[in-house]
Chains A and B, each alone.
Chain A
Amino acid sequence: MTGAEHFAAPPNWEWWILAYFFFGGLAGGSYAIGALIRLVGSPADQRAARTAFIVGFLALIPCPIFLVADLGTPLRFTNMLVDASEGGLSFKYWSPMSLGSWALLGFGLFSFVSFLGALGESAVSALDPLARLLRGTAGAVWSVIGAGLGLFVAGYTGVLLAVSNQAVWSDAGWVLGGLFLASALAGSAALQLLLARSRREVDAGTTARLEVADRNFVILEAILLVLFVASVAIAGTVGKLLGIWGLLWIVIVLGLAAPFVARSGAMRTWPPAAGALVALLGVLALRALVIFGAQS
C-alpha cells in the first residue's frame, strides 16, 4: 500500500493558533462539563458547575484576540462574518473556518450569559434574577445548547486542520476533531480539579466525581490518540510527528498518565495541583505536536 502524497505548502499557523486551540478547548470543555454537572449532578456538585461556567468564559475571552492577532490583516477580521465583496453574511458551512467563526460567536453569547448567571448565584446579587432563570427549565435548555456549541468549539479545530491537503492533518481526517474534543474534555476536567482542590468549600465527593470524569475522558483521548497514530502511520507521514517535535510525546504520555498515577497514590508527596498541571501541559503538547510537527 502506497502512502499519501503531499505537495502543499505549510500555512505557518504557529503560536497564536496553538494558544487559541488550547484556550478554545478549555472554554468549550469547561462549559460542557458545567452543563453536565448542572443537568445530572447533585446539589452538592453545583458549586463546581458554577466554577466551570465562569472558567469557561474566562478561557474564551482571549480566543478572538489570538485569532485576530494571527490574521495577516487583523482589521479585516469582520470578513469572517460579513461578505466584503458581495455584501450580506459570509457563511460557508463546508468551510470549517467559516463555520467555526460563527460557532465561536454563538458560543460566546451562551458562555457570557451562563457566566453572568454563575456570578449571580455566587457573588453578584444584581444578577440573581438571571441566575434564578437559568436554574429552571429555560436554563437547562440554555445549557444544553451552550454545551453543544462548546463541544463544537472544542473539536472543530481538529476538523479545520483535517480539511486541508497537509500531511498528517488531512491523513487523520476522521479522527483529529474527536481527538481534540476528547483532549479538551480531559484538560477541562483537570482544570476543574485544579480549582476544586485549591478551594476548600468544594465538596470532597464532587472532587472525587471530577476525578472519575477526568479518567474517563483520558481513556477516550488515549483511544483516539492510538487511532490518530495508526491513521498517519498508514498514510506514511508519522515521521513528521517524530524528530525534535517528537519530544512532546513524553509530555503527552505523562499528561495522560497523570490522573491514574495520582489515583494510585504515587504522587502523594507532590503538591495537590501537580497532577492536573501535568495533564494540562499534555493537552497543550498534543496541540503543539499536531500543529508544528505537521508543518515541519
Chain B
Amino acid sequence: MAIEARPVGFFTDTSICIGCKACEVACKEWNQLEGDPIQFRDDYDNTGRLDAQNWRHVQFVEKVPDNKGFIPTPTPIAGGQAWLMMSDVCKHCQQASCLEVCPTNAIVRTEFDTVLIQQSVCNGCRDCISACPYGVIGFNEKTGTAHKCTMCYDRLQNGMQPACAKACPTESIKFGYLDELHAAADRRMAALQQGGYKQARLYGRDASVYGGLNAFFLLMDTPETYDLPNAENAKLPSRNNVPGYLGGAVTAVAGLVAGVLAFRSSRMSDMEKRP
C-alpha cells in the first residue's frame, strides 16, 4: 500500500516501552549501520546516545533508591520509584535547527514532511551537529558526512512503514499520518490522566517545541528527565543571528573609532607642520 505524500511521523508512547531494543536492532539491520563498539556502562544502556551509528536509542532512566534508600528526584509513579524507558530518535522538527543552519542545502524536507540529510550533497561541515538541540546527528568517519534517522525514507517511498515501528512489539512506537497520530496520542493521554498519571504529558504534540515534532512522545515525567529541552529552552540557533551581528557591528564601529583616535592625530600634526 502506497504511503501518501503528506505529513507522517512517529508517536512514541514511553508508558508502554519495555526497553527491549528491538527498534535499535531493526534500525541497524535495515539501514546497515555497523554500530559503535560495545560500551560497558553502569546500567542497561550500552548504546549511550544517538549518533551516526545509532538512529534509535532506548534510554533507561533509573529512578530507584540508592544504597541508602534515597531517590534523587522521585516521580509520582509506583510510589515514587520508576524505571523509565524511551526509544529516542530524530524528532523531524517542524522548525528544524539542522535544516536552518546547513550551508549546503544538504538537509531538506521530504514529501512526507520529514527531515532528510542528502548524503550526496553533505560535505561534512558538521554545523548541523552543532545546531541540533537533541544531539541526534552524528558524523560518520567513513563516509565523511553527517547521519541521522531518515524515518526510513526508502521504505516510505515503497509503501512500507519504518523498520523500528514495524519491529516494536508493544507498539510503543507508532508510525502513521501525523493527524491520525495526534488523535491517537490525545486518546492515550486522556486515558492515562484518568488513571491518575498526573506527570504524563505529550512532548512535541503541539507547536510549543520547535513548531511541533513529527516524531513526538508521550512522556511519564518532565522532558529534562529524558534529556529533552523543555519549551522554555527549545530555541532555534537563528535566535542569535541578529544579536550576534549587531554585537559585531557595534564592536566594528568602536574598533574603527579606537583606530581613528590613534592615527588621526598623526595626520593632524602632519598638517600643522606644513607651512
By a beta-carbon cutoff of 8 Å, the part of chain A in contact with chain B is: 4-13, 32-33, 36-37, 40-45, 70-74, 76-77, 79-80, 83-86, 90, 92, 94-98, 101, 151-152, 155-156, 158-166, 169-170, 173-179, 181-182, 185, 205-206, 209-210, 212-213, 216-217, 219-220, 224
Are B127 and A216 in contact, with the CB atoms below 8 A? no
**Bound Cα distance A76, B123 (Å):** 5
B251 within 8 A of A: yes
**Bound Cα distance A174, B244 (Å):** 4
Q: Considering the complex of A and B, which 9 residue pairs feature the smallest CB-CB distances, nearest first? A: A72-B124, A173-B240, A72-B144, A178-B251, A216-B258, A174-B243, A177-B248, A76-B123, A159-B244
Stretch of B65-73, B75-83, B134-142 contacting A (4+ beta carbons < 8 Å): B134-142
Are B130 and A164 in contact, with the CB atoms below 8 A? yes
A-B CB contacts (within 8 Å), total count: 245
* Distance between B247 CB and nearest chain A CB, rounded to angstroms: 4
Chain B residues, Cβ within 8 Å of A159:
240-241, 244-245, 248
Known A41-B267, A43-B270: A72·B145 in contact at CB below 8 Å = yes
Are A85 and B106 in contact, with the CB atoms below 8 A? yes
By a beta-carbon cutoff of 8 Å, the part of chain B in contact with chain A is: 49, 51, 97, 100-106, 108, 118, 120-127, 129-141, 143-146, 224, 227-230, 233, 235, 237-241, 243-248, 250-252, 254-256, 258-267, 269-270
Of B247, B261, B267, B269, chain A has the most CB atoms within 10 Å of the CB of: B247
Partner of A165, one of B121, B126, B133, B255: B133
Closest to A77 in B: B123
**Bound Cα distance A127, B127 (Å):** 41
Are B261 and A216 in contact, with the CB atoms below 8 A? yes
Partner of B120, one of A72, A84, A163, A182: A84
Are B239 and A85 in contact, with the CB atoms below 8 A? no
Are B145 and A8 in contact, with the CB atoms below 8 A? no
Are B123 and A79 in contact, with the CB atoms below 8 A? yes
**Bound Cα distance A185, B205 (Å):** 48
Are A45 and B241 in contact, with the CB atoms below 8 A? no
Partner of A8, one of B130, B140, B224: B130
Chain A residues, Cβ within 8 Å of B102:
92, 95
Known A41-B267, A71-B123, A181-B252: A170·B240 in contact at CB below 8 Å = yes
